[in-house]
Structure 1
Amino acid sequence: MYGKIHEIVAIFGVLVTGASGYAATHCVQQLLASGYLVRGTVRSLKNPEKVQPLRVLKFAQERLELVEADLEKADSWPKAVDSCDYVFHVASPIQLVSDGNAIKVAVDGTLNVLEACAKCHTVKKVVLTSSMAAIKYGRETTDKVLTEDDWSNVNGKGINEYQKSKTLAEKAAWDFVKSIPEGDNQFKLTCLNPGFIVGPLLTDVQGASVTLIKRVLNHEIPGLPMLYFSMIDVRDFAKANILAMENPKTDGERIILGYNEDHNLRDVADFLDKEFGPQGYNIPKRKLPYFLLWIASFFNATVKDALPMIGVKEKISNAKARDLLQIEFTHPEKSLVDMGYSLIEKGIVPKKGGYKPRTHL
């Protein structure tokens, strides 16, 4: 297979966009460990916080090249994509409460990458990170088990800008691939729809999931709203990208990634408390009543966006992932405990007097 280190080829195997991100760094790590030549994009090579964790990965010196590219700068992508066999488009706006620009950046950024791929005749396949946010929101709540055939309703009640951005960006990707002109590169597309990504960190960059778990461990939230979500271990996410890339049966498919059971924030707190409570961490356990959240929503944009999701539990099927990728998903308790130790060891969460470090995650 092209890009494997045992073959003498003068091309890069896989481009990973947004390579310094929480999930993308795991993709880079696993690609390198699997023998691929990797090129990763970052917005600035002059930012050591973003670049250094990638440079110290095993095999990075031999097989990793970092280049600058920005989702909002279309002219930065042809050079980034040049000579690559595969592209993992992982980079995306990740804020749960948008600054008003999330839809434009997500859609335009996705199209900028795909347009470059359509002009680069070495690219065989793009694996695009979408989200369960493109499947489960703005809909009437029913007992129906949601699958890859379902889409979020961007005009539906309670859907927020982040959820719209993920939905519209994925739809734009499918529409683009269907309309690639004859003569341009007709690459294959697979879209992955992960749930809430959790698990250990390879960087110190704090995204949405890191911030949430840090706040729970630090008792920085007064209580637990009944938010339900499906979770996926970040290591499973990276593995799924590689399996989707390598398996032609995934061409043209959407694939839900996540443990086959929704959990709420109380479950998250219970998992963390079981492990870290005896070590001196005061994990919040009190359920926040809806009326308090409703009042807070008038003053806090984060709460306002989350309010329509309180108490809503959807049924999601991961059958396609288990069938096509032959992957069994890690239980969220293990992912969250591993994440907790990672946050403490990196100093993102302070060590308590009773803390007992583990030798491995």
Structure 2
Amino acid sequence: MATVLVTGGSGFIAAHVMLRLLGAGHEVRASLRDPRRAAGVLAMLQAGGGTPGDALSFVTADLLEDAGWDRAVEGADYVLHVASPFPAGVPDDPDELIRPAREGTLRVLRAARKAGVKRVVVTSSFAAIGYGHEGRGPDGTLYDETDWTVPDAPDVQPYMASKTLAERAAWAFMAEKGGPMELAVVNPVAVFGPALGPDLSTSVSLIKALLDGRLPAVPRIHFGVVDARDVAELHLRAMTEPVAAGQRFLATAGGSVSLHTIARLLRRELGPVARRVPRIELPDMLVRLAALALPMARAAVPQLGRRREGSYAKAQSLLGWTPRSMEEAVLASAESLSALGLVGR
């Protein structure tokens, strides 16, 4: 069994990744920017059925500082670089996202190469694939691992640019200075699945907003969906399978779904728990008006009416990875929020 550093250990995806690693018998070292969050991480892992014991340890390291990273990677066989900021709205200064994403990725790679790490798996995003350019297919909606977001295109928001520039920097580093170390990249679409505690990811917070009735209506947007448990499984396979070296892998349940369809799914399957879920899809004009005052609406405007669809064919053919359905991922988020007593709070 291996020693694996997971960066950003307090995050939603990272918690599921650590659960999968611990379940496979690996020793896990989690990096935290704030060591006081260790207790919360342990609580999330226990909520997910994990019993870390001595197989889990913590180190303190910040993506914007060199201190701590040499110690974090010391003796590690693999690094899963999951940490990266993901806000609900659009920041006023794009560097709030771009700097920690790009500089943090390079810090982790430099430390890993120096320590003799075998392979680094970087958690990128579909945000680094499907924006700023047309896709393939008769309606221009199809994207795969060969596609790259154009970071300076007019409709590309800071988060998308941050993920693109960070991943580009990772591949450039490997080509120039990586040496024998290997790199694989996982590019998830919107990540749902079971919440493990009250500190919610942006995607799961969207489900909570629907259940709480905080959205009287939903914008006409579509996105891909994947379950965090499947993202964790793909990280493990990208870490260990020889064929994964030098590859990107889209993590998606396939296709895309509208927010309105998700709202209908929640109402149909959850009964009284979903009584506040909106029934109306807003006209685009009203979303544009709301964007003048609301950051969440502003983030939705460039995506109105656009469909972007990916496939998990590459991950399936090379790594044998098959994800849960969109419906299962979304309902797992909603059911976990209800079980944790977070609906309506």
What percentage of aligned pairs have identical amino acids? 35
2:12 is matched with which residue: 2, 5, 22?
22
> SS in structure 2 opposite 1:315?
coil
Residues 232, 330 of structure 1: 8 Å contact kept: yes
1:283 is matched with which residue: 277, 281, 292?
277
1:231 is matched with which residue: 225, 233, 237?
225
Q: What's 1:35 paired with?
A: 25
> SS in structure 2 opposite 1:47?
helix
The answer to whether 1:120 aligns with 2:112 is no
Name the amino acid aligned to 1:236. Answer: D
The answer to whether 1:192 aligns with 2:186 is yes
Residues 97, 162 of structure 1: 8 Å contact kept: no
Q: What's 2:289 paired with?
A: 295
In structure 1, distance between residues paired with 2:278 and 2:342: 18
Relative to total residues, which structure has the larger helix share, 1 or 2? 2
Residues 211, 273 of structure 2: 8 Å contact kept: no
Q: How many residues are aligned here?
A: 337
Q: What's 1:313 paired with?
A: 307
In structure 2, distance between residues paired with 1:282 and 1:200: 20
> SS in structure 2 opposite 1:25?
helix
The answer to whether 1:148 aligns with 2:142 is no
Structure 1 window deviating more from structure 2 (54-63 vs 323-332): it is 54-63
The answer to whether 1:108 aligns with 2:103 is yes
Q: CA deviation at 1:32?
A: 0.6
2:65 is matched with which residue: 60, 73, 77?
73
Residues 277, 283 of structure 1: 8 Å contact kept: no
Task: Name the TM-score, length of structure 2 as normaliser.
Answer: 0.93
In structure 2, distance between residues paired with 1:153 and 1:199: 29
Give per-residue Cα distances to partners, 1:157-207, cap 9 Å, x unaligned.
Answer: 2110011001000000000111117xxx53100011000000102232122
Q: CA deviation at 1:58?
A: 2.9
The answer to whether 1:206 aligns with 2:203 is no
Show structure 2 runs of 5+ residues with no match: none
Give per-residue Cα distances to partners, 1:110-147, cap 9 Å, x unaligned.
Answer: 111111011112x1000100000000111136634211
RMSD: 1.7
> SS in structure 2 opposite 1:158?
coil
Q: CA deviation at 1:62?
A: 2.5
Name the amino acid aligned to 2:30. Answer: G
> SS in structure 2 opposite 1:15?
strand
> SS in structure 1 opposite 2:35?
coil
Residues 23, 234 of structure 1: 8 Å contact kept: yes
Structure of higher CA gyration radius: 1
Residues 344, 350 of structure 1: 8 Å contact kept: no
> SS in structure 1 opposite 2:153?
coil
> SS in structure 2 opposite 1:165?
helix
Q: What's 1:337 paired with?
A: 331
> SS in structure 2 opposite 1:46?
helix
